[in-house]
Chain A
Amino acid sequence: MQSNFYIFRYASVMVIVVAAILSSAAMLLKPYQEKNKAIDKMKGILTSANIEATSENAIQLYKDNITEEIVINNKGEIVESKKKGEVEPGKSLAFSLDLKKELYKKGRGEDFNIPLMVAETNGKKIFIIPLLGTGLWGPVWGNIAVKDNFSTVVGVTFGHKAETPGLGAEIDTKIFQAQFVGKELFRDGKFQSISVVKGGIGTMPNDMQIHGVDAISGGTITSVGVSDMLANCLENYVPFINKRN
């Protein structure tokens, strides 16, 4: 049995060595990781608007296709708007807005801001809304792109940190995401989020099926998380959309 002194010394040396290795790795690698994260975000935004992007050409495509980056507040007023070319891709306030913080403010009833990206294809505007929510094991996120009527869905992307492989993790597959295309966010002028329905949309009334998609079997909690994320993030844009119309 070693003395207590040895144990303390061993533990402190271990803590210092490990902390040094991990922190320096985190510091050194941070710029690369941040860049990768930004590229991944751009890829998500572009893909939801049906612009195929790879890690290599994401920055260029983002520069070419995203015509406007807007920050809106919860009353529907525009806080900041940057047109194409005014800022470097990935540097605008709208792009770097921390959605988690803003949604936290929303939860506490404070004023908050939300981002909105605009892309233009064939002369038609597409609005892209970033999403953030909670799945079973960790955060889920995504982007939803809508036509300029702010209702018809053009495309979505989802990502997740740690959902169960093969079950909840299926939200990031094309098969799941393709279901969203053509769904509507508004019903008779009123906001009606898209829900992820357990047992399939066949269980919904016929006229409501345009607001629902099939859940993933075995991934119920993640599916509910996606539903909640859509409702919680999209409703923030209603004041802005109403003002616009």
Chain B
Amino acid sequence: MQELFNIFVKSIFIDNMVFAYFLGMCSYLAVSKTVKTSMGLGIAVVFVLGITVPVDYLLNQYVLAPGALSWLGPQFAEFDLSFLSFIMFIAVIASMVQLVEMVVEKFAPALYSSLGIFLPLIAVNCAILGGSLFMQEREYVTIWHATSFGLGSGVGFLLAIVGIAAIREKIRYSNVPPALRGLGITFIITGLMGIAFMSFLGIKL
């Protein structure tokens, strides 16, 4: 239990998807104008990561990894389908995103219109695919470890995007040089936040 909690906290702060690995930057920069929309996107990412990581975990354990097919019978033990893992992970992610898109469109049309093009782009949000690939690489022992890693990474992204959105809302009242307003200053602030988050790197959990 404690181990699960450790993985969760670790993936929020130390292995933060945005600040430690710089994944998921596109949607992070583009949808962080207001706290409200960024909250929506953040929750969508938590949801998608929380589902795709365990699903991809099962897929990897029972279909893709070398020898994973042995449950079908001993003659399948030699199969190695890992060359398909990219496309399979992507397919799972894309279908999950499509699902989220449909759910959001149905139940929260306002959020749907404000997320615009970036909802489909969650599919190529590298944080999501990165989550699955990290999961495959780190070889978590049980599906619960993988799930807590997925959720933690999602919450890390949520934290990052809501943080920058709050800063951007405040900075609207500051006198930023006109050419730097909007995107430019966001890039620079993100860089500074990233440098600050690097101080978490040394912590061992």
Is B3 engaged at the interface, CB distance under 8 Å to the other chain? no
A residues 1-37 in Cβ contact with B at 8 Å = 18, 22, 26
| B137-A137 in contact (CB<8A) | yes
- Residues of chain A in range 184-220 having any CB-CB distance to chain B below 8 Å: 220
Chain B minimum-CB-distance residue to A104: B139
Residues of B within 8 A of A139 (CB): 137
A138 partner residues in chain B, CB cutoff 8 A: 133, 137
Please state if B201 and A220 are interface contacts (CB–CB under 8 Å). yes
Q: How large is the interface on A (under 10, 10 to 19, 20 to 34, 35 or more residues)?
A: under 10
Which A residue sits closest to B83, measured CB to CB?
A: A26
Chain A 129-162 against B: per-residue CB contact (8 Å), 1 yes, 0 no? 0000010011100000000000000000000000
B102, CB-defined interface residue at 8 Å: no
User: How far in angstroms is the closest Cβ of chain B from A217?
Assistant: 13
In the assembled complex, which residues on chain B have CB atoms less than 8 Å from the CB atom of A220?
Answer: 201
B-side interface mostly:
helix
**Number of chain B residues close to chain A: CB under 8 A:** 8
13 A–B pairs (Cβ distance < 8 Å), ordered by A: A18-B87, A22-B84, A22-B87, A26-B83, A101-B66, A134-B137, A134-B138, A137-B133, A137-B137, A138-B133, A138-B137, A139-B137, A220-B201
Interfacial residues, chain B to chain A (CB-CB below 8 A):
66, 83-84, 87, 133, 137-138, 201
Give chain A nearest CB distance to B68 CB in angstroms. 13
Q: How far is the CA of A26 from the CA of B201 in the complex (A)?
A: 40
**A134 contacts which chain B residues (CB < 8 A)?**
137-138
B47 to chain A minimum Cβ distance, whole angstroms, is 23
Of all chain B residues, the one with the shortest Cβ separation from A15 is B91
Query: Chain B residues with Cβ under 8 A from A26's Cβ?
Result: 83
A22-B87, A134-B138 known, 11 other contacts, Cβ within 8 Å: A18-B87, A22-B84, A26-B83, A101-B66, A134-B137, A137-B133, A137-B137, A138-B133, A138-B137, A139-B137, A220-B201
CA distance A139 to B138 in the complex (A): 10
Interface of A is mostly: helix
In the complex, what residue of chain B is closest to A161 when comparing beta carbons?
B137
B83 to chain A: which residues have CB within 8 Å?
Answer: 26
Specify the chain A residue showing the minimal Cβ separation from B134.
Answer: A137
The minimal Cβ–Cβ distance linking A176 to chain B, given in whole angstroms, is: 21
Distance between Cα atoms of A22 and B87 in the complex (Å): 10
Closest to B84 in A: A22
Chain B residue, CB-CB nearest to A134: B137
Closest chain B residue to A33, Cβ basis: B83
Query: A138 CA to B133 CA in the complex, in Å?
Result: 8
Give CA–CA (A18, B84) in the complex, Å.
11
B66: chain A residues at CB < 8 Å are: 101
Q: How far does the Cβ of B106 sit from chain A's closest Cβ, in whole Å?
A: 15
A40 to chain B, nearest CB (A): 17
Considering only residues 72-106 of chain A, those with a C-beta below 8 Å from chain B are: 101
Q: Among B133, B137, B201, which residue has the most Cβ atoms of chain A within 10 A?
A: B137
Task: List residues of chain A with CB within 8 A of the CB of B87.
Answer: 18, 22
Chain A residues with Cβ below 8 Å from B137 are: 134, 137-139
